[in-house]
């Protein structure tokens, strides 16, 4: 009975939201807030025209490059900083400063440096997500139990073996959480950069914002939301598949 309630309540919440949206939309009119019914109609049309999906996949591909780079750099860096005091001391000031730097503030700078092409978007996505991945991994690496390493050493494991058989598996949930947090920031950065330069999916949204009817714009927003949630869920599921022994820990970054 309570499991039914667990499902029913969120649905009720969404239903309330949709209802409120519908009412507000009708009252305020499509120019201010298109109600879900007209958004749905437009959405189908947008899907049909194909432009939305084309731009979306293009943008996501570029985001993926930046995100992958952030993982490749951030994870080892975080692990290194967590296990080595020297590395921590060297890199810490930079990571601390860069993580609090607004991505938006970096865009004009990198436009000057890199122009407005592929490199800009990849770089912005990279810079927005890499520090979070680093810090999350760092937290995980710091917390690796010295006891577990001692156990491995007592079985005569060498440093490389310890790294792969103890450190990496122990780090796993943090890598996953870091990736998820990084992904959130990567998506944000992608939209940010694209809206600024008016290209890709962000550009679509900017142009939709200039139209009279808000329905297409809202359609794009909802699509973005679905994609964001789906990617996150995908990452989570992939993580659980690869390491089913490990319950997802809640890690704060």
- Residues in the site for other proteins, rule: CB under 8 A? 1, 5-6, 9-10, 12-14, 16-17, 31-32, 83-86, 88-94, 96-98, 100-109, 111-113, 159, 184, 187-188, 190-192, 195-196, 202, 205-206, 208-210, 214, 217-218, 220-221, 224-225, 228-229, 232, 252
Whether 226 contacts 43, CB under 8 Å = no
Return the number of the residue (126 or 196) whose C-beta is nearest other proteins.
196
Query: Minimum distance between the CB of residue 69 and other proteins, rounded to whole angstroms?
Result: 19
Query: Minimum distance between the CB of residue 101 and other proteins, rounded to whole angstroms?
Result: 5
Whether 197 contacts 120, CB under 8 Å = yes
Whether 173 contacts 252, CB under 8 Å = no
Whether 137 contacts 171, CB under 8 Å = yes
Query: Minimum distance between the CB of residue 41 and other proteins, rounded to whole angstroms?
Result: 19
Return the number of the residue (156 or 244) whose C-beta is nearest other proteins.
156
Return the number of the residue (23 or 90) whose C-beta is nearest other proteins.
90
Return the number of the residue (112 or 155) whose C-beta is nearest other proteins.
112
Say how far apart CA 25 and CA 186 lie, in whole Å. 31
Other C-beta atoms lying within 10 Å of the C-beta of residue 29: 12
Whether 196 contacts 124, CB under 8 Å = no
Query: Minimum distance between the CB of residue 56 and other proteins, rounded to whole angstroms?
Result: 12
Say how far apart CA 164 and CA 177 lie, in whole Å. 19
Query: Minimum distance between the CB of residue 72 and other proteins, rounded to whole angstroms?
Result: 21
Return the number of the residue (206 or 240) whose C-beta is nearest other proteins.
206
Alpha carbon 126 to chain centroid distance? 11
């Amino acid at each position: 009975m309570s499991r039914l309630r667990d499902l029913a309540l969120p649905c009720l919440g969404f239903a309330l939201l949709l209802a409120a949206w519908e009412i507000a939309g009708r009252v305020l009119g499509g120019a201010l807030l298109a109600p879900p019914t007209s958004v749905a109609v437009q959405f189908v049309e947008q899907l049909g025209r194909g432009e939305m999906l084309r731009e979306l996949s293009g943008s996501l591909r570029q985001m993926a490059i930046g995100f992958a780079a952030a993982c490749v750099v951030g994870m080892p860096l975080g692990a290194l900083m967590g296990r080595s005091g020297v590395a921590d001391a060297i890199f810490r000031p930079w990571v601390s400063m860069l993580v609090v730097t607004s991505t938006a503030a970096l865009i004009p700078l990198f436009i000057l440096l890199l122009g407005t092409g592929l490199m800009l978007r990849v770089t912005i996505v990279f810079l927005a997500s890499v520090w979070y991945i680093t810090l999350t991994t760092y937290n995980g690496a710091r917390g690796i139990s010295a006891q577990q390493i001692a156990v491995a050493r007592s079985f005569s494991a060498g440093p490389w073996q310890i790294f792969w058989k103890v450190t990496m598996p122990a780090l796993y949930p943090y890598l996953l959480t870091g990736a998820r947090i990084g992904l959130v920031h990567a998506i944000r950065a992608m939209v940010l950069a694209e809206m600024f330069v008016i290209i890709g999916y962000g550009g679509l949204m900017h142009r939709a914002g200039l139209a009279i009817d808000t329905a297409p714009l809202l359609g794009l927003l909802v699509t973005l939301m679905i994609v964001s949630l789906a990617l996150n869920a995908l990452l989570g599921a992939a993580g659980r598949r690869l390491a089913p022994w490990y319950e997802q820990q809640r890690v704060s970054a």
